[in-house]
Amino acid sequence: MSTVNCPECEAEITFAEGTEAGEIIVCPDCGVDLEVTSIDPAAVQLAPMEQEDWGE
Partner 1 sequence: MQRRLKIGVLYSRVRVEEKWIFGAMEKRGIDYDRLDDRAISFDLEKPEAWQQYDAVLERSISYNSGLYALRLLNAFGVPTVNKASVAEICGDKLMTSAVLARDGVPQPHNVTAFSPEAALEAIEAFGYPVVLKPVVGSWGRLLAKINDRDAAEAVLEHKSTLGSVQHSVFYIQEFIEKPGRDLRIIMIGDKVLTGMYRSSEHWITNTARGGSGELCPITPEIEDICLRASKAVGGGLLGVDLVEHPEKGLVVNEINHTMEFHTMQPVSGIDIAGEIVEYVVRSAMQKSE
By CB under 8 A, name the binding residues for partner 1. 18, 20-24, 35, 47, 50-56
For residue 20, the minimal CB distance to partner 1 (Å) is 5
- Give exposure, 1-32, as e/b (b: 16+ Cβ within 10 Å): ebebebeeeeeebebeeeeeeebebebeeeeb
* Other Cβ atoms closer than 10 A to 43: 15
* Residue closer to partner 1, measured from CB, 10 or 46: 46
* Residue closer to partner 1, measured from CB, 7 or 10: 7
* Residue closer to partner 1, measured from CB, 40 or 50: 50
